Amino acid sequence: MHGLKEEHAGVRIARQRKLAGLTQRGMAARIPYSYSLLRQVEEGRKNASPDLVSAVARLLRIDVTVLTGQPYVTELQQDRLAALIRPIRESLDLYDLYAPEDAAYSGPAAPRTDGELAEDADNLCRMVRATQLSKAANALPGLIGEVTRAVHHAPTTALWQTLGSAYRTAHDLATKLGFYDLATIALDRMGWAAERGSDPLLAAVRQYMRALAYFREGEHRIGLRLIGAGRTALAQADPGHPRTLVVSGQLHLGASVISARAHDAEAVTTHLREATAHAARTGEAAHVHWLSFGPANVAVHEVSAQVEMHRYGKALERARDVRLPHGWPMSRRAHFCIDRARAEMETGRSDAALECLMTARKLAPQQTRYHPGARETINGLVHQRRRTPDSLDNMAAWLGL
């Protein structure tokens, strides 16, 4: 392929390994992967799976983003997203200030009602799930400032919940764009708001998101402990309420993919079974804390779990049976396509893998562009094929590879 940059995860792994003074054999002896596989990954002949990347990061005591290359600054600048990060960061930093003259609080002159602010926060959640990331990122700091000013002036449970929702959107944006340090700050603020609003569901959702952060880092035990903390928070909620069932079911789905990354097939089966039982009672409940929980999400998580356990053939079997409901969020549809693309590539179906990634790009262009899994799969496809079609060339160039 003409002009392909050699800055894939394997190259970064090799660089960091050498900085740590380790040989390939020396590193392979300290992670659960063979010398042969490590060598092929560093040479770009094998894809760097997320679990291999996290294992290397843990060994070298570096952040996973050092190996994935996130955030992808050049592409962010091209999409004019980089400039939107600083205002979000400032709005999170000034959470305990509410002076009207502060530049971070630039809402409307006339204060809005609690209901209007809550509707705005919901709209931002909706934008992120529709992958309108630029639009959401541009509007978010002003809303956080306005709600912060309102809740300090007249604190109510509803306003604290709205602020928690806005912080949740900050987390989602930061995660999708690769700013994981900012995502961590947003989760801290989300916990702060949940505590003041006495909202056990929001507190449980926050623990779920914390668990996924540790999942990315390969810290399976910590991730599962956080899932447990989420269940503890739910003990304060009505156990039979549909909203409680949704959050509880999503916690089981989070535990399923974490257990899959740890190759604990029995735990995966147990958590998926529990999530299936919850989904049978809730049906599709996409708007409960915007978790998209329901039978479709259970099916999609089963595919993800099979991919994480490297059971790629089984993942494709499950994927063929998935039927996504009309109106399901574009962000979730695209994520499913990216998971399926990895399974297609690993089973030698390169054309099908590329088709999945092109579909993901069509559904959620910004999310796909900044998704490390999409980028690594494209790198894998390039190195699998002696000649690359124009569509693969174009996709790699669009991703900045």
In this structure, are 204 and 304 located in the same domain?
yes
Name the band, by pLDDT with cuts 50, 70 and 90, for residue 78. Answer: confident
For 109, the domain range is: 81-195
Both 100 and 53 in one domain: the answer is: no
Cβ within 8 Å of residue 223, ≥6 positions away: 211, 212, 214, 215, 254, 258
* Same domain as 264, residue 320: yes
- State yes or no: pLDDT of 72 exceeds 50: yes
Q: Whole-angstrom Cα distance, residue 192 to residue 203?
A: 9
**Tell me: the pLDDT tens digits for 108-156?**
556 789 999 999 999 999 999 999 999 999 999 999 999 999 998 889 9
Which residues have a Cβ under 8 Å from the Cβ of 187 and sit 6 or more positions away?
167, 171, 206, 209, 210, 213
Q: What is the predicted pLDDT for the residue at 109?
A: 59
Cα-based distances in Å from 292 to 118, 250, 287, 370: 19, 9, 6, 21
Condensed to tens digits (0 to 9), the pLDDT of residues 37-63 reads: 999 999 888 888 888 999 999 999 999
**207 and 323 both lie in a single domain:** yes
Q: Are residues 322 and 206 in the same domain?
A: yes
Instruction: Single out the residue in 328, 346, 370 at which a domain terminates.
Output: 328
Contacts of 216 (CB under 8 A, 6+ apart): 50, 54, 64, 180
Q: Amino acid identity, residue 205?
A: V
Distance CA 198, CA 288 (A): 17
- Pull the structure tokens for residue 235: 């003990």
Quote the CA–CA distance of 283 and 349 in Å, as a whole number.
Answer: 34
Whether residues 173 and 215 fall in one domain: no
Label residue 4 by pLDDT band (50, 70, 90): very low
Whether 75 is covered by a domain: the verdict is no
Nearest residue to 297 via CA among 316, 276, 267 = 276
149 & 228 share domain: no
pLDDT computed for residue 270 by the predictor: 98
**What total number of domains does the chain contain?**
4
In whole angstroms, give the CA distance from residue 337 to residue 74: 25
Among 294, 328, 362, the domain boundary falls at 328
- The residue-averaged pLDDT of 243-266 equals 96
Q: Domain of 286: which CATH number?
A: 1.25.40
Q: What is the DSSP letter of 252?
A: H
**Residue 163 is encoded by which pair of tokens?**
């602020």
Please provide residue 47's backbone torsions phi and psi, each rounded to the nearest 5 degrees. -75, 145
Residues 169 and 236 in one domain: no
For residue 89, being part of any structural domain is answered with yes
314 and 352 belong to one structural domain: no
User: What confidence score (pLDDT) does residue 45 get?
Assistant: 83
Domain co-membership, 132 together with 188: yes
Same domain? For 93 and 142 the reply is: yes
Residue 347 lies in a domain: yes
Query: Is position 341 within any domain?
Result: yes
* Sign of the alpha-carbon dihedral angle for 258, 260, 265, 271: positive
Check if the beta carbon of residue 226 is closer than 8 Å to that of residue 210. yes
If pLDDT is split at 50, 70 and 90, which confidence band does 380 have?
Answer: confident
- Whichever domain contains 57, its CATH number is 1.10.260.40
Q: Which phi and psi angles does 76 have, rounded to 5°?
A: -60, -40
Q: What is the average per-residue pLDDT within 326-355?
A: 94
Sequence-ordered list of residues with C-beta below 8 angstroms from that of 259, at least 6 positions apart, any chain: 220, 224, 267, 268, 271, 305
Domain annotation covers residue 74: no
107 pLDDT higher than 70: no
Cα 151 vs. chain centroid, distance in angstroms?
29
Domain contains 249: yes
Q: Which of 168, 195, 222 is the last residue of a domain?
A: 195
Among 4-13, 266-275, 345-354, the range scoring the smallest mean pLDDT is 4-13
User: Within this chain, do residues 123 and 215 fall inside the same structural domain, yes or no?
Assistant: no
User: Is 102's pLDDT higher than 90?
Assistant: no
Residue 99 lies in a domain: yes
pLDDT of residue 387: 59
pLDDT computed for residue 100 by the predictor: 46
Separation in Å, CA 271 to CA 209, 216, 275, 301, 343? 17, 19, 6, 11, 22
Closest CA to 48 of 21, 76, 16, 3: 16
Asked, for residue 217, whether it belongs to a domain, the answer is yes
Residue among 247, 258, 256, 321 at smallest CA distance from 281: 247
259 token code pair: 């257990």
Mean pLDDT of 74-85: 90
